[in-house]
A and B are shown apart, each in its own frame.
Chain A
Amino acid sequence: MAAKKETTSKSKKQNKDEVVDLTAPSKKIVSVDCGTMNLVSATMNEKDEVETTSMRNVYLPLDKGELGTTDLSQMSYVETEDMIYIVGEDAYRYANIFGNPVKRPMQKGLISIDDVDSLDVLAMMIEKLVGKTKNGICVYGVPAASVDKENDIIYHQNVYKRIFEELGYTSIPLNEAMAIIYSECSEDQFSGLSFSFGAGLSNCAMSYKGNPVMTFSVSRGGDWIDESVARQFGTVPNRITSIKENNTDLSNYKIGRKKERMIREGIVYYYTDLIRYTLDVIKKKINTELEDVDLPDCIPVIVSGGTSKAKGFLDLFKGIVESDEDIPFEIKEIRYADDPLTSVAEGLLIKALAEGEE
């Protein structure tokens, strides 16, 4: 009889310990990859699925007086008293129709302050992406400073911090190339070399057991390729973007009409130059700044970023790296991130979840 009572008391105690305070709001944990071309958010849902949401980081401002009888019901937009801002992919679609250029809140990987409205529209777009909360954590990606252009990320980092905090999130910045390491290199104890080839910048990080050994960016990316090729052919970058993203195979540019073949040939040359240029910076940094540092042995190389999604990119990248005899470290493998477009957001989410559990 006494033993039974004891068991009952123990059970009650266990039940008491298991009581959860239902009044405490659970934290909303999100991450945002703040890219020049795409804003990508990630969150974990109740089914343990990683949900990623992306939005083109562009908007099209339209004076309400110019619209007349234009039907807006098929567009995604936000409006103020005098202006309509078409956001996301719709902005691109309708830019040519309305004869106005799209605006981009970010240029070359960082927030652009050329347009007085861009920060406010960016805040609206971020809110559309992650929503508001009373208690949240947001880890957002930031680039490293560029080695070939004078820029700093202080303003960029703090504007995003303010936007997220005003939406109710505790915000934590994280280098976007390191986010790729967190997402893709758990099997290698978070040691590796990651590349994020974005539209505005290309970021790179070398990590040893989760510690950044080297992080930098170069001011070349997808936009640089489009602008360079457009300049060669006397056309607009948007046209090059369209060709680049449709039916361009970097291993075989000789398809399509004659002019398109010539443009694709140009695209291949500039992609090649981008890869070589970034590798040269790595070699220079390792040979000068990291001369006395013990580098990790045999590390994986992870390739990511929207610009790397071009068909044939990985083969081109491998070909250039493997033929370079001056690479000062052993390479275990060269591979894509699981999803080059969302790996940064997923890595940021992993960091956010780790923070949220502490």
Chain B
Amino acid sequence: MSILRRILLYVKAMSIKFTQKLLSERINSGEDDQYLEILKEILLELRNINNKLSDIESAPPKYSRNDELESREQTNSGSFETYKSEPFIPTIESKDGKSKGTSATTSNKKKRDVSKNIKGLKDLNSGENDGS
């Protein structure tokens, strides 16, 4: 039975992956709302079935927020901690070990003379302008 279940799990996982790919293509092409909504419902349903099968297979317990909070209080491994104690300085890394993250930001440069603005502000602060 376990082999059959594993096969079923594999088939379900492939279905989810295919639906995810289809969904992302539809989103990028700007397709009709109704089609998108149907795809989302199918995806959710497949994920639910997948989760149930995983439970039957005695998969590791699902992520529990309470468990995470308790383990944080008990351990001091320097991993994810809230700012109540020390700040956590994360290591930004990808699975292949290289640093990532540049695509999250969008940068722009422009020549701008702000000297007049700065001087004006400093004059205001020093009271040289007539503020009345």
Contacts and interface: CB of A to CB of B under 8 A. Distances in A.
A22 interface: no
A50 B44 CA distance: 45
A97 B23 contact: yes
Contacts of B121: 182, 190, 210, 350-351, 354
Contacts of A75: 100, 103
A83 B111 contact: no
Contacts of B96: 73
Contacts of A351: 121
A124 B92 contact: yes
Interface string B105-132: 1111111111011101110110001110
B24 to A, nearest CB: 5
Nearest to B113: A48
A202 to B, nearest CB: 23
* Chain A contact patch, size range: 35 or more
A96 B116 CA distance: 47
Interface in A176-228: 182-183, 186, 189-190, 209-211
B83 A119 contact: yes
B105 A189 contact: no
Interface in A113-147: 116-117, 119-120, 123-125, 127-129
Contact of A50 (B69, B109, B129): B109
B84 to A, nearest CB: 10
B68 interface: yes
Contact of B104 (A87, A123, A182): A87
A215 to B, nearest CB: 16
A89 interface: yes
Given A76-B101, A90-B103, A99-B47, A51 B80 contact: no
Contact of B131 (A76, A81, A211): A211
Interface residues of B, number: 58
Contacts of A246: 30
Interface in A340-358: 342, 346, 349-351, 353-354, 357-358
Across chains A and B, which 9 residue pairs bring their CB atoms closest together, nearest first? A88-B104, A76-B104, A80-B80, A210-B124, A354-B121, A63-B63, A186-B117, A49-B109, A81-B79
30 contacts: A50-B112, A50-B114, A54-B106, A63-B63, A68-B13, A72-B95, A73-B94, A73-B95, A75-B100, A76-B100, A76-B101, A77-B92, A77-B100, A78-B101, A81-B79, A82-B80, A83-B63, A99-B44, A117-B80, A120-B80, A127-B89, A128-B104, A128-B105, A166-B87, A210-B121, A211-B131, A350-B114, A353-B114, A353-B118, A354-B121
Interface of A: 44-45, 47-56, 63, 65, 68, 72-73, 75-83, 87-90, 96-99, 116-117, 119-120, 123-125, 127-129, 162, 166, 182-183, 186, 189-190, 209-211, 235, 239, 246, 259, 339, 342, 346, 349-351, 353-354, 357-358
Given A47-B111, A81-B79, A209-B130, 17 more contacts: A50-B111, A50-B112, A51-B107, A53-B105, A54-B108, A75-B100, A77-B94, A78-B101, A80-B79, A87-B104, A97-B24, A119-B83, A127-B89, A128-B101, A182-B121, A189-B120, A353-B114
Interface of B: 13, 20, 23-24, 27, 30, 33, 40, 43-44, 47, 60, 62-63, 65, 68-69, 77, 79-83, 87-90, 92-96, 100-114, 116-118, 120-122, 124-125, 129-131
